[in-house]
Structure formats: structure tokens, C-alpha cells
Amino acid sequence: MDKVRSTAADALEGTLFDGMTVMSGGFGLCGIPENLIVALRDSGVKDITVISNNCGVDDFGLGLLLQTRQIKKMVSSYVGENAEFERQYLSGELELEFNPQGTLAERIRAGGAGIPAFFTKTGYGTIVADGKETRQFADGWYVLETWLRADLSIVKAWKGDRAGNLVFKKTARNFNPMMATAGKVTVAEVEELVDEGELDPDCIHTPGIFVDRIIQGAVYEKRIERLTTRERG
């Protein structure tokens, strides 16, 4: 089945509704689905719960959805680069479910694997464990964490084919592969779209069975999240 759509808006058509949960791949500004995020903003869908490592920066990435007040809740592990995120959270406009980064990744992986809950040492004895079941195993105490799943996953890959098979590039892989497995519908954008059979099967990171629709993205901005320079000399 040809899963290619011509635009990001076409790829999201029929998948969006108010109050939905969206997983968005990326780490900082690395490996984020830039075109799909813009299409999500332009759709006007609201009261979204977004599951993502962070929320971009003020005027780029998922930060665009904060500007338009389309996000109701964030499920994240890092929020330090976005002043608008901070303002909305401290003013009570934005809900936040904070996760240790490895726990967030494992909750997403568990959602894709059909594992509803698991125990982890991370967070035991801290506010992360408040209200959660804890249990002692052989070498210590563990906290029960539950899976994460989404109505829609939007991911970014380096290359993909018309069947939805994806190849990620180095650290841009980050959260994208596990999110692709944990959405009821998964839409991928790629920098290079090739015909079926052109990708080395041994190098495919996400099989096409997990991807419902795919687009070739427009020109990517690829910003640097925090640029530090020094004078020459």
C-alpha cells in the first residue's frame, strides 16, 4: 500500500480531534517533525496532550503550539529551554506530568510493546513516586510506572520509502522509533523519500508496519537549540 501523502496537512487529515493525545519525536530540536508540527498548529486542533521529551523553544518546534495555546498538558522530561512553557505552567495554564528521561522512554516503549506497567528503581524515595505503587524486589525498592500510548504519533526520519520503512540518522533517532510503535496512527516525515526496495533491509530502524502515512518534508531549518561561541584569537 502506498502510504505517501503530498503535504503534511494531507497526512494529518482525518486524524485530529480536540482533546487528543499526540506523541512527537525529537530531543530538543534534534529529530523533530518540523513540518507536521506546523500542520498541527495550522489545523487549529486544541486541548492537546503532548507526549514529548520537551517542548521545543519559544518560537520553534512544539513551542509553536504553546504560542497558540493548543496544548493543554505536557508529558515530558525536560522543559528548560522554553520561557513560554515556564510562564504557562507557573500561571496554571498548562498541566505538566514530569518524568525521569529513561522512565519516559520506557513508558513509551512499553506502550508500543503492549506492556501496561513495569517497575523501575528510578524515582523511588522522591516526589516522582508520590501516589504510585512501590514494591521491594531482591535488591531494593521499585516504583510502578504505566505505559504511554497516543491517538497520533508524529515522527521524523532521515530516509523512508513508500511503504513507510524508516531509517534515522545518528542521535536524531532518539525518541522517534518507540513513538512510532505507540500511536494508534503514526505519521512520519522524512528528508529523503525513496521507492520500495531502495533501503537496505538490514539498516531499517522502524518497519513500515508501524507507519500509516509518510511525507517528504520541505526544507529543514535544523536550528541549534543553544549556540555558544567565543571570540577568535
The values of phi and psi at residue 153, to 5°, are -115, 130
Calpha distance 9→156 (Å, rounded): 15
In the chain the domains, ranked by start, together with CATH numbers, are 8-111+148-213 (3.40.1080.10)
List of residues 6+ apart from 148 with CB closer than 8 A: 23, 51, 75, 104, 107, 108, 110, 111, 182
Tens of pLDDT, residue by residue over 135-181, are 999 989 999 999 999 999 999 999 999 999 999 999 999 999 999 99
Q: What is the structure's pLDDT at 223?
A: 79
Q: What's the pLDDT band for 220 if we cut at 50, 70, 90?
A: confident
Tens of pLDDT, residue by residue over 14-61, are 999 999 999 999 998 999 999 999 999 999 999 999 999 999 898 899
Instruction: Name the one residue in this structure whose C-alpha cell is 500510548.
Output: 149
Beta strands (DSSP E) in 78-232 are 95-98, 117-120, 134-137, 140-146, 150-161, 166-167, 183-194, 213-216
Query: pTM of the entire structure?
Result: 0.94
Pairing, β 150-161 against β 21-24: parallel
Q: What is the structure's pLDDT at 221?
A: 82
Q: Which DSSP category does 92 fall into? A: T
The values of phi and psi at residue 95, to 5°, are -85, 150
Q: What is the structure's pLDDT at 224?
A: 77
